[in-house]
Chains A and B, each alone.
Chain A
């Protein structure tokens, strides 16, 4: 719609409108609109949000805590869930699993499990169980689901060597596995923005040197180096420090792609009109970078970050699996997968691979989310 300027009486150029007849939308509104159209990206985003929610309150979501174990249920297969039960007076709705009777098969030396229909373990929502501190603050003993009578066997996804619940442990593992990616990427981001920014801002010899350095780091096979660095952590280091050392090791090689993006954006934007205008208006370099340049490539950075997290999760899982990354008592998906060291164990207890399934879902979701964000990061191109 054109408007007639009151003073000059001329027709002023109209504000661009999209097909919905709306006027200007802010940058982030445009990004959001474009992102919403990327269905896989949205789905990935929802899964990622769920995963971080799990990482926040695993104590509440898991049926039992990490300390709980039942030696009699060593390598017990998943208990099938039954929805109801015939108690003589007809079928009633009463979700339950059956406890196992176990016999040791002396031929194979393995424990065989049989459902004991006489010993149902009734299952409910919001049941009272072992007490825990939610977020380390709120004392509680309510679990989202689990056996109604606390302490009864409930292994909906099977048990490991020591008779610990795989599902609960996988839920707890989410915390470490999902955050190690975040912390690692945050560190890489600091390096990346700093070094990439210097490279893009100064240009010339500095830029050339940094670019050669990045090319060099990217051409080194990362996993042997990661293994080398991770193996250098002495066994005596406490678990929490191992966690931070691993994130540092992952980001030592991980910052390069972020630095490339930041540099590329800096170079592209240095000569943009609005940056020139800001400079001519007398803005200092700090204000130009943070007030004018950063907002316009923040969406790109977010996209690259979300694409960098899966690599970190995969690397942590692999290192922990090999026994040179995180180790117990820290519980991450990779640490849990250590239980599945050889083919025979897996053939006997395939449910030990459940944490691997969690890794795949998380990495897929993050990839989809990252793809969607990358498309949305530049909402002006079509």
Chain B
């Protein structure tokens, strides 16, 4: 197992390097940079920025260097010093902005994942066991609907219902008084009070696909001879279901967790923008618009790292659950 873990972590390394290069390239491709954008903005306000000043700023920020060199400075800063570069728009080191946001992104993603498990596994099992009943059809239909509704539309609808139906002010992960407050017990409670809505919104699409996966897997297992054998031995129906076929059916589900986690992190960006959450999404969009390059690149990098780590964890979990995988590859 230890050997397998080491190997698997070693494989994640090239992925991380590639991800960092792509994050930086995406930011460097567009013509112009933060200085050009600032100059444009200033010009729109009637304040012309002299070319000499632009050049001076560029030199000060190191934007006059060739892209590969900029990349090298940025990535060595991250690896050796944990320094993600400087946010031009915030006038702060990126790491001061990024860590709290990343923390909340991770909390929200994990909460959504737990929500998906808690909702989808029982419904999936129910739908498989009671196949072609009203409940199964309802679950299947809701599943399809969950896949078809765009995340941001669901976020809008949820906010509208909470606003119009219950008079709740939604949006954000904290009440106004706790946004800037240091962490305290009250702040955690406040976070939990706001977390559930984005969690449900983010979890819905994933729930739909997990229900379908579990249902399909379990239906394959339900009529295998070992189930009949256990039933013939007089095992109770529920205990039988949980002990044998469900455990088998969960295996492909665990390996499907990668994709679901990628979708959560990915879709979380848009939901966060629509709902104004204090996670990475809104800042990423702003940073991209103002070409605040180190900020944007660091966000894309960290989101991708989150996904790579998620993939790694789910692979390890699968190897722990299923010895065939560890022996085959380890």
Contact = CB atoms under 8 A, between A and B. Distances in A.
Given A216-B18, A346-B160, A356-B150, A322 B270 contact: yes
A322 B269 CA distance: 11
Interface residues of B, number: 50
Q: Interface SS of chain A: helix, strand, loop or mixed? A: helix
Contacts of A368: 144
Contacts of A353: 153, 156-157
A314 interface: yes
A168 B29 CA distance: 38
B300 interface: yes
Give the bracket for the number of chain A residues in contact with chain B. Answer: 35 or more
Contacts of B159: 343, 346
A343 B163 contact: yes
Nearest to B32: A234
Contact of A343 (B19, B144, B170): B170
B258 A343 contact: no
Contacts of B156: 340, 343, 346, 353, 356
B31 interface: yes
A227 B160 CA distance: 25
A216 B171 CA distance: 34
Given A220-B22, A224-B269, A231-B289, A360 B149 contact: yes
Given A227-B288, A347-B164, A219 B153 contact: no
Interface string B297-309: 0011001101110
B48 interface: no
Nearest to A334: B150
B98 interface: no
A299 B135 CA distance: 33
Contact of B27 (A220, A228, A343): A228
Interface in A330-376: 337, 340, 343-344, 346-347, 350, 353, 356, 359-360, 363-364, 367-368
Q: Interface SS of chain B: helix, strand, loop or mixed? A: helix
Contact of A228 (B148, B151, B296): B296
Contact of B300 (A216, A218, A225, A364): A225
A375 to B, nearest CB: 13
Contacts of A224: 266, 269, 284, 299-300, 303-304
B87 to A, nearest CB: 16
A346 B303 CA distance: 31
Nearest to A340: B156
Nearest to B280: A224
Interface string B246-261: 0000000000001100
B97 interface: no
Nearest to A236: B31
Interface in B178-223: none
A221 B285 contact: no
Contacts of B289: 231, 324
Interface in A183-198: none
Interface of A: 216, 218-225, 227-229, 231-234, 310, 314, 317-318, 321-322, 324, 337, 340, 343-344, 346-347, 350, 353, 356, 359-360, 363-364, 367-368
Given A223-B269, A228-B27, 14 more contacts: A219-B258, A219-B307, A220-B22, A221-B265, A224-B269, A224-B284, A224-B299, A224-B304, A227-B269, A227-B284, A231-B30, A231-B288, A322-B270, A353-B156
Those 5 A-B pairs whose CB atoms lie nearest each other, nearest first:
A232-B30, A231-B288, A221-B266, A363-B148, A228-B26
